[in-house]
Amino acid sequence: MNSVSIRIAGAHGDGVESSGALLIKVASRIGLRVFAYRGYGSIIRGGHCWYQVRIADSDLKSYGEGIDILIALNQDSIVNQKSHLNDKAVVIYDPSKVKVAELDASKYRLVPIPLLDIAISASGDPIMRNTVALGAVLKFIGIDIARFNDVLKSQFGRKGEEVVNQNMKAATGGYSYQGVETLYALKGDGKQRYVLDGNTALAVGAYAAGCKFYSAYPMTPASSILHWFASHENKGVMPKQVEDEIAAINMAIGASAAGARAMCGTSGGGFSLMVEGLGLAGMLETPLVVVESQRSGPSTGVPTKTEQGDILFVMHASQGEFPRIVVAPRSIEESFRIAAEAFNLADRYQVPVIIMMDLYLSERVETVEAFDVDGVTIDRGKIATENNDGGRFKRYLLTDDGVSPRSIPGSKGMEFVAGSDEHNEFGDLVTDMYAGLDWAIDMRSKMHEKRMRKIDTMLKNEPVFVPEVLNENADYFFVTFGSTTQPASEAIDILKAQGKNFGLISFSYLLPLDKDRTRKMLEGKKLINVEGNYTGQLAKVIRMETGIEIKSSILKYDGEAFTGQDIANSAIKLIKQ
């Protein structure tokens, strides 16, 4: 695989991300694969930020190790990014604004280009210095400037021909500047693919599954899900920005109880506020989908960095016991598919389904094949259309599989009581009768057991609650969940080139877990746990559920995402011990 990693670095307001978006568009339109990720601080505080675009002629699994080409838009870009430069990296900078004396000219290819002067000459607008730099990048990676001009026409055409021509002139100025030559000859396959982030894929999956209501209080990195639904409000979806996360989950519960497929979303801090509502959904047996996109904690932590530190919290959130499903997509494609299936699972078993994303998966951008939106099936589960009993409707009918028929409010003859207290089959509260009355005590036990029977029913009917195994005959196996899976897969390729035989055991469906089948898949293998947290929370879950202890771990909790090289390097050290 031929790949190159380009990082655009500057300050908030320098157009770092919009420049990266243009580069992504031109690469994807000619059939190249793209994997992009950004680094930024609090937008309110401003400061240094960067956007890295990795481009290749085949599928990518991480944003890459280090920088091959750096566009340094200010001095901080040199200071903050020099430690990430690969050997022979190209550094594009404006010598009137940026000094590179601290960089070893024998180690890097330093390319001074008067970005500002060329931009002013082309348009009179200094903002176009980014376009000049992108022109130079296109020459270095072997993409014809005509391809970029096509993107500029589509991007700026609404602003008029003059603006388009100014951008084209600026890009040509960088493309043809002295000392700029082709170093990476990347060739696409000509197939155009979709380019999107994990949150967008999730939102599209939810929409395809018939989600009609989405509520949230904005919180990085889940906020863009709300943005997507807000931009599609005229498509039959009601998005609601609420006053806090407590309102978000309660509104979603209400919408679901009324018959709509509903979802709410937040990050870890907001999910902390949702916990009481989660228990309410469990007691009401109301289908609900909750997105929890993890970031570095505790408290506000590092709000613009990634982590996988919430798995134990999410699995045990709220007091008491009730069934739930916890799932962590491993890729952007899976974010779409799992979001769609989450609504079916929620309806089928009348439980909360929690989708665990993280900042790395929520915000990274990739080229992906088109999703089969029309192929999404919808299963609303046991919705009663009539009351065959003839008497009062038993919303919480005691059943062998734990799932009771539910009615949509307004259905004649199927009215019921819904309360947060324990209840009988009609929904009548039994807590007021709990003065030692045998029938009330017996009803509490029967209702609790009914709800918990759903777990056995799920495990019996759904084959997904076990990990997937890649390379069954490997000498060592990485154990991953969620967003660590793709970089671990990249590490396997890196290690294979070194003569090492590694496999992968990866989890997307985390709870409930089929203990017996999972134990059989894990036992007897040399396992290395890979997680984005300090305590190895997945490994703890595996030991608790199966009795298998994973003694070797590769853990990361600095807020940065794993790369394949990270994992490969750590794995080599572990197997040498």
Q: How far is CA 247 from the centre of its chain?
A: 24
Task: Give dist(CA 17, CA 10) in Å, integer.
Answer: 10
The pLDDT of residue 436 is: 66
Which pLDDT belongs to residue 42? 75
Which run of H or of E encompasses 460? helix 438-461
pLDDT at residue 30, as a whole number:
95
Angle between helical axes of 16-29 and 145-156 (0-180°, round to 10): 120
Sheet with 365-368: list strands edge to edge: 109-112, 85-93, 67-72, 3-11, 48-56, 33-39, 365-368, 194-197
**Taking the chain (577 residues) in consecutive chunks of 10 residues, what is each chunk's mean pLDDT?**
94 93 96 96 79 96 95 97 96 97 96 97 93 98 96 92 95 96 93 95 98 97 97 91 98 97 97 98 98 96 96 97 98 98 98 98 96 95 84 94 94 90 93 73 94 98 95 97 97 97 98 96 97 98 97 97 96 92
Hey, what domains does the chain have and what are their CATH numbers? 3-175 (3.40.920.10), 195-375 (3.40.50.970), 468-576 (3.40.50.920)
Distance CA 200, CA 557 (A): 25
Is the pTM higher than 0.85?
A: yes
Q: Give the pairing of strands 476-481 and 67-72.
A: unpaired
Q: Tokens 């675009």 sit at which residue?
A: 53
Phi, then psi, of 195 in degrees rounded to 5: -125, 115
Helix (H) or strand (E) holding 293: strand 288-294
